[in-house]
């Protein structure tokens, strides 16, 4: 049992380091995904340029932009695996799909978190939102826990379509309904944190609880199902 | 195999005839014999389709999950379970759609709006989209076992939404009314003949589901068999390549 | 360079691999229970579609200047329509709220039935721009002369929970 | 002699096409078996079946005592596969690639250094991104990643392709020393002159079947 845990640890560490290194050297997140999400935020600002509306919907926009960007990151995360047959080699080498799952999830979480912090900053500036100190604490808690859930679910569904034809179009169809609870929960928690539309910050914590439950479910399901999902 | 082979057997033919009679009676009962509601008037008749539809959808998705669980836990990994799961989910999606359409028409007439984002309607919409995704995963390609494995995992995840949908009206305040028959207070909230008609709707729609399911499953089995037969021929062809 | 085959992780751990893994299943089960608790105990006020009349200004999410949805029963003889403005009172648990609606709700809107009004409280009056009829889960045959036929009218004095 | 690979009547399917049409193959420990045959004969599929990647549709198969029908995932730990594609991450440098594959199997830094040295991708090349390498250099990088695995069963698909003569000689030497240390090698090639010299047995594959054998 311990030796299996060691293998999982080793493989997941190797995978997360590898994925982040790839990102560090290719800078796709910085050069493509971040500008993409920035464009989403600005387009919304144009479309909804109406006193009050932007402040009220700002939390939802931050999370919508995060989810759309996540589709791109997940797509990319598995494209590097299938480009030169690395996923095959990984299946042969890892022997422990749990390690691959954890590693890729962690890498996805780190990237998402960086993106969310950027989007938060944009929302504060662009949409003129002013949270309190308590609001900030709540916002960061929301981000952290929502991101854990998103990392697991993104990796699970990304692996499901990896290598299959037509997965580019399938991924949004599968992933967006699955992350709907995160969109709702994180948006409502952030609304509470921002005080949008008269919401109080105490209203946010149950939603954060829901996000934690989501993360738990998909973490465990992913641990069970990721291996079979990437098999032929 | 004969050329006249169909997916019907004497048993399913009898079931089909019985279903046709039951549904015809439901039409008569729902449209003519049953009375108008004191508040809604004739729109109440929509209920005799709406409620049985969502009932069939629950039944279908439940069966999908059950068959998937059997497939996953069974050592033999027989594909018949996968086909039943897939056939059942297809029918379920159809009936959720029927339920959504009849419900929103009724909503327009009674509530004054086609759609609201209350807990029941929102969760039903999730359910619908999730199973459309499930069907998409089944068409992803790959081997039969790959299809079965992927879709079984999805089915076991997706079925968790059903209790949420069903109990949403009890957990939260919704614009959608609570259950009238499966009420926790065990007090039936329908007048006699309305109740009978609704009950008849559940029975006849369940029969319709069974009939559709058997045929769809057999059709899928035949599709798979065609591919398998193709495999035998393909193996023969493949072997002759060596001579060339 | 050493090329002897690397010893595999001991056979025991590989057997472990083949056995069913219970830990994730237990986590899923626990998470689902936790989810049930969160959803049913803590999230009710957040997911509820409406506030009842008696909760306006009292319950979390029903207070302040924000836009809310209020549910109550249209009080008998309170309905007035003048110059395209519909006015009526909503009652729930002995609390009443005066509602002003621009236009005619239409449909099956009438006195003595529960409705949900969208809008804000302005100077003690609920200024509404959208009204939905909340149908109960009771279905009563129209031509019945049983005592249930009077249930809906009785609803005016005897409010359902 | 210990049997490492045993396939009998194996049919394997690639999107409805029977890549293997009932193949029989037995490989013993210490052998270097060359699979040769025309393009599309099924050589690659044999290797992928042995690596536990491709499921068996019909027939029976086992590798190192592991039943491929029921537990094909379990053989992977002991096999090393070099496929058509190199399995490299193009954005990573040579060292990062080899180190990554080394860390998935728990190989040491020293082993990585030695393998890179053997494949002559140390020095200047070590810090070049894989995307900037020539085809031969990428092959060397993939081979170095394979060497650090120290597999029991080496499965190689056209391993000599793209390598210069020096690289091919180096590879042959490595394979021979692996076999003498207790490993087994199965390689697929349609360019057979060099491989024949290396192999202890040649098996002809055609039409998804074994169509002949020579020693």
pLDDT tens, D60-82? 999 998 999 888 888 888 899 99
Interface membership of D21 toward B (CB under 8 Å) = yes
Q: Where are the domains of chain A?
A: 3-231
Question: Which stretch of A140-144, B13-17, C59-63, D166-170 has the lowest confidence by average pLDDT?
Answer: C59-63
- The total number of structural domains in chain D stands at 1
Mean pLDDT across B27-47: 84
Cβ pair D163, D136 in contact under 8 A: yes
Q: If DSSP codes are grouped into helix, strand and coil, which group holds residue C74? A: strand
Burial of A130 (0-12, 13-18, 19+ CB in 10 A): exposed
Mean pLDDT across B134-161: 86
**Angle between helix A53-82 and helix A97-126 axes, rounded to 10 deg:** 150
The bridge status of strand C80-82 relative to strand C51-52 is unpaired
Residues of B with CB under 8 A from a CB of C: 34-41, 44, 47, 109-113, 116, 118-119, 160, 164, 171-175, 177-180, 183, 189-194
Is there a contact between A167 and B136 if contact means CB atoms under 8 Å apart?
A: no
Q: Give the residue carrying structure tokens 């449209």.
A: B31
Is there a contact between D206 and B242 if contact means CB atoms under 8 Å apart?
A: yes
Cβ pair D8, D61 in contact under 8 A: yes
- Both tokens assigned to C75: 């009080």
Subunits with 3+ Cβ pairs within 8 Å of B are A, C, D
Q: Which positions in chain D touch C14 (Cβ < 8 Å)?
A: 74, 77
The per-residue pLDDT for A2 is 59
Q: Which positions in chain A touch D51 (Cβ < 8 Å)?
A: 92
Q: What is the mean pLDDT of chain A?
A: 88
Torsion region of B107: left, alpha or beta (phi above 0 gives left; psi -120 to 50 gives alpha): alpha
**Integer Cα distance of A139 and A129 in angstroms:** 12
Mark out the alpha helices in B29-143 (DSSP H runs). 47-73, 79-110, 119-138
* Beta partners for residue D23, in sequence order: D10
pLDDT higher than 60, residue A183? yes
Is there a contact between D73 and A95 if contact means CB atoms under 8 Å apart?
A: yes
Q: What is the mean pLDDT of chain C?
A: 77
> Pick from A4, A213, A221: which is nearest to C34 by CB?
A213
pLDDT higher than 60, residue D28? yes
> Pick from B40, B171, B194: which is nearest to C135 by CB?
B40
Mean pLDDT across B181-196: 72
A17 closest CA partner among A7, A9, A5, A29: A9
> Pick from D53, D86, D149: which is nearest to A232 by CB?
D53
The per-residue pLDDT for A94 is 64
Element (H, E) at D98: helix D94-105
Is there a contact between A198 and C64 if contact means CB atoms under 8 Å apart?
A: yes
What lies within 8 Å, CB to CB, of D40 at 6+ separation is none
Residue C64: CB atoms within 10 Å: 14
Q: Give the chain A residue whose CA is nearest to the CA of C41.
A: A206
Cβ pair A165, A155 in contact under 8 A: no
**Integer Cα distance of A45 and A61 in angstroms:** 10
Subunits with 3+ Cβ pairs within 8 Å of D are A, B, C
CATH number at residue D138: 3.40.50.300
How close C10 gets to chain B, by Cα (Å)?
25
The per-residue pLDDT for A68 is 93
Q: If DSSP codes are grouped into helix, strand and coil, which group holds residue C103? A: coil
Helices H, strands E: what count in chain B?
A: 7, 0
pLDDT higher than 70, residue B223? yes
**CATH of region C49-158:** 2.40.50.140
What domain range includes position D149? 3-214
What lies within 8 Å, CB to CB, of A207 at 6+ separation is A142, A184, A185, A186, A188, A189, A192, C43, C46
**Integer Cα distance of D60 and D67 in angstroms:** 8
Q: Give the chain B residue whose CA is nearest to the CA of C147.
A: B191
Residues of A with CB under 8 A from a CB of B: 160-161, 164-167, 170, 173-174, 177-178, 180, 221, 225, 228-229, 231-232
Q: Give the chain B residue whose CA is nearest to the CA of A217.
A: B157
Cβ pair A105, A222 in contact under 8 A: yes
First-to-last C-alpha distance (Å) of chain C = 82
**Angle between helix A86-94 and helix A2-26 axes, rounded to 10 deg:** 160
pTM of the model: 0.87
Name the DSSP letter for residue B9: -
Q: Where are the domains of chain C?
A: 9-47, 49-158
Q: Convert the pLDDT of each residue in B168-181 to its tens digit.
A: 888 788 888 888 77
> How many beta-carbon contacts under 8 Å exist across A and D?
80
Q: Give the chain C residue whose CA is nearest to the CA of A5.
A: C13
How close C16 gets to chain D, by Cα (Å)?
11
Cβ pair A200, B162 in contact under 8 A: no
Cβ pair C3, D177 in contact under 8 A: yes
- What residues of chain B, 158 to 217, have a C-beta less than 8 Å from chain D? none
Q: Which positions in chain D touch B147 (Cβ < 8 Å)?
A: none
How close A232 gets to chain B, by Cα (Å)?
6
Burial of C35 (0-12, 13-18, 19+ CB in 10 A): buried
> Pick from A18, A25, A92: which is nearest to D79 by CB?
A92
Mean pLDDT across C134-138: 81
Q: Which positions in chain D touch A30 (Cβ < 8 Å)?
A: none
Q: How confident is the model at residue B212 (pLDDT cuts 50, 70, 90)?
A: very high
**CA distances from residue A32 to A23, A38, A116 in whole angstroms, order as listed:** 11, 10, 15
C131 closest CA partner among B149, B175, B13: B175
Q: Give the chain D residue whose CA is nearest to the CA of C18.
A: D71
Mean pLDDT across A121-132: 86
> Pick from C3, C4, C8: which is nearest to D77 by CB?
C8
Q: Convert the pLDDT of each residue in C1-39 to its tens digit.
A: 788 888 776 554 454 455 556 777 787 788 888 877 777
pLDDT higher than 90, residue D98? yes
Q: Convert the pLDDT of each residue in B140-152 to its tens digit.
A: 877 788 889 889 9
Q: How confident is the model at residue D10 (pLDDT cuts 50, 70, 90)?
A: very high
Q: Give the residue carrying structure tokens 């000599």.
A: D160
Mean pLDDT across D133-152: 93
Residue-by-residue DSSP string for chain A: -HHHHHHHHHHHHHHHHHHHHHHHHH-HIIIIIHHHHHHHHHHHHHHT-STTHHHHHHHHHHHHHHHHHHHHHHHHHHHHHHTTTHHHHHHHHH--HHHHHHHHHHHHHHHHHHHHHHHHHHHHHHTT----HHHHHHHHHHHHHHHHHHHHHHHHHHHHHTT-TTHHHHHHHHHHHHTHHHHHHHHHHHHHHHTGGG--GGGSHHHHHHHHHHHHHHHHHHHHHHHHHH--
Q: Where are the domains of chain B?
A: 49-231
The bridge status of strand C51-52 relative to strand D153-157 is unpaired
> Pick from D106, D147, D182: which is nearest to C5 by CB?
D182
């Amino acid at each position: 049992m311990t030796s299996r845990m060691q293998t999982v640890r080793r493989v997941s560490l190797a995978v997360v380091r590898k994925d982040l290194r790839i990102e560090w050297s290719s800078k796709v997140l910085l050069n493509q995904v971040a500008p993409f999400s920035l464009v989403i935020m600005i387009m919304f600002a144009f479309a909804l340029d109406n006193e009050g509306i932007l402040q009220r919907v700002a939390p939802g926009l931050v999370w919508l932009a995060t989810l759309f960007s996540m589709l791109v990151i997940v797509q990319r995360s598995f494209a590097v695996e299938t480009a030169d047959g690395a996923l095959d080699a990984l299946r042969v080498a890892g022997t422990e799909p749990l390690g691959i799952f954890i590693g890729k999830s962690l890498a996805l979480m780190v990237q998402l978190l960086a993106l969310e912090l950027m989007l938060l900053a944009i929302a504060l500036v662009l949409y003129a939102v002013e949270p309190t100190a308590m609001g900030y604490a709540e916002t960061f808690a929301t981000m952290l826990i929502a991101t854990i859930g998103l990392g697991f679910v993104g990796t699970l569904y990304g692996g499901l379509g990896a290598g299959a034809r037509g997965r580019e179009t399938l991924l949004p169809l599968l992933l967006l309904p699955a992350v709907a609870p995160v969109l709702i929960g994180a948006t409502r928690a952030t609304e509470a944190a921002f005080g949008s539309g008269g919401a109080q910050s105490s209203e946010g914590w149950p939603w954060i609880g829901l996000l934690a439950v989501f993360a738990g479910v998909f973490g465990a399901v992913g641990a069970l199902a990721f291996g079979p999902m990437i098999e032929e | 195999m004969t050329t006249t082979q169909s997916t019907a057997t004497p048993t399913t033919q009898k079931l089909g005839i019985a279903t046709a009679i039951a549904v015809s009676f439901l039409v008569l009962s729902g449209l003519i014999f049953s009375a108008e509601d004191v508040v809604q008037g004739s729109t109440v008749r929509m209920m005799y389709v709406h409620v049985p539809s969502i009932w069939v959808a629950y039944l279908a998705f439940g069966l999908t999950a059950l068959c998937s669980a059997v497939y996953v836990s069974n050592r033999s990994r027989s594909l018949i379970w996968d086909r039943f799961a897939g056939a059942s989910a297809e029918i379920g999606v159809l009936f959720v759609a029927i339920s959504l359409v009849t419900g929103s028409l009724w909503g327009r007439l009674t509530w004054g709006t086609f759609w609201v984002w209350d807990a029941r309607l929102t969760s039903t919409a999730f359910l619908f989209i999730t199973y459309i995704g499930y069907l998409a995963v089944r068409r992803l390609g790959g081997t039969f076992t790959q299809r079965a494995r992927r879709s079984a995992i999805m089915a076991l995840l997706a079925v968790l939404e059903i209790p949420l949908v069903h109990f949403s009206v009890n957990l939260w305040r919704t614009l959608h009314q609570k259950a009238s028959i499966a009420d926790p207070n065990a007090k039936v909230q329908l007048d006699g003949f309305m109740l009978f008609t609704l009950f008849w709707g559940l029975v006849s729609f369940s029969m319709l589901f069974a009939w559709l399911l058997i045929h769809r499953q057999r059709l899928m089995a035949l599709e798979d068999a065609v591919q398998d037969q193709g495999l035998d021929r393909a193996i023969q062809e493949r072997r002759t390549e060596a001579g060339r | 360079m050493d090329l002897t085959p690397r010893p595999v992780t001991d056979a025991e751990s590989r057997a472990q691999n083949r056995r069913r893994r219970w830990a994730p299943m237990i986590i899923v089960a626990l998470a689902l229970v936790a989810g049930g608790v969160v959803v049913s105990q803590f999230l009710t006020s957040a997911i509820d579609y409406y506030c009842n009349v008696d909760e306006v200004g009292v319950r979390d999410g029903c207070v302040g200047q924000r836009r809310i949805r209020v549910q109550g029963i249209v009080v008998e003889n309170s309905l007035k329509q003048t110059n395209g403005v519909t006015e009526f009172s909503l009652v729930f648990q002995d609390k009443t709220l005066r509602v002003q609606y621009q236009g005619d709700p239409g449909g099956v809107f009438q006195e003595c039935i529960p409705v949900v009004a969208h809008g804000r409280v302005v100077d003690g009056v609920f200024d509404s721009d959208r009204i939905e009829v909340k149908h109960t889960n009771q279905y009563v045959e129209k031509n019945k002369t049983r005592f249930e036929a009077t249930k809906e009218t009785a609803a005016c004095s005897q409010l359902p929970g | 002699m210990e049997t490492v690979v045993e396939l009998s009547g194996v049919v394997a399917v690639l999107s409805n096409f029977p890549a293997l049409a009932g193949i029989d193959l037995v490989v013993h420990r210490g052998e270097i078996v060359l699979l040769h045959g025309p393009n599309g004969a099924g050589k690659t599929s044999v290797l992928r079946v042995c690596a536990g990647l491709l499921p068996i549709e019909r027939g029976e198969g086992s590798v190192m005592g592991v039943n491929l029908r029921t537990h094909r995932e379990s053989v992977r730990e002991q096999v090393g596969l070099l496929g058509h594609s190199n399995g490299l991450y193009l954005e990573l440098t040579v060292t990062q690639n080899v180190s990554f594959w080394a860390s998935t199997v728990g190989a040491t830094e020293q082993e990585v250094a030695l393998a890179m040295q053997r494949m002559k991708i140390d020095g200047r090349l070590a810090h070049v991104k894989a995307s900037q390498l020539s085809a031969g250099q990428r092959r060397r990088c993939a081979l170095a990643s394979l060497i650090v695995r120290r597999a029991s069963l080496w499965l190689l698909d056209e391993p000599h392709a793209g390598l210069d003569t020096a690289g091919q000689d180096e590879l042959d030497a490595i394979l021979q020393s692996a076999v003498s240390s207790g490993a087994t090698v199965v390689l697929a090639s349609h360019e057979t002159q060099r491989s024949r010299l290396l192999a202890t047995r040649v098996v002809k594959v055609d039409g998804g079947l074994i169509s002949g054998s020579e020693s």
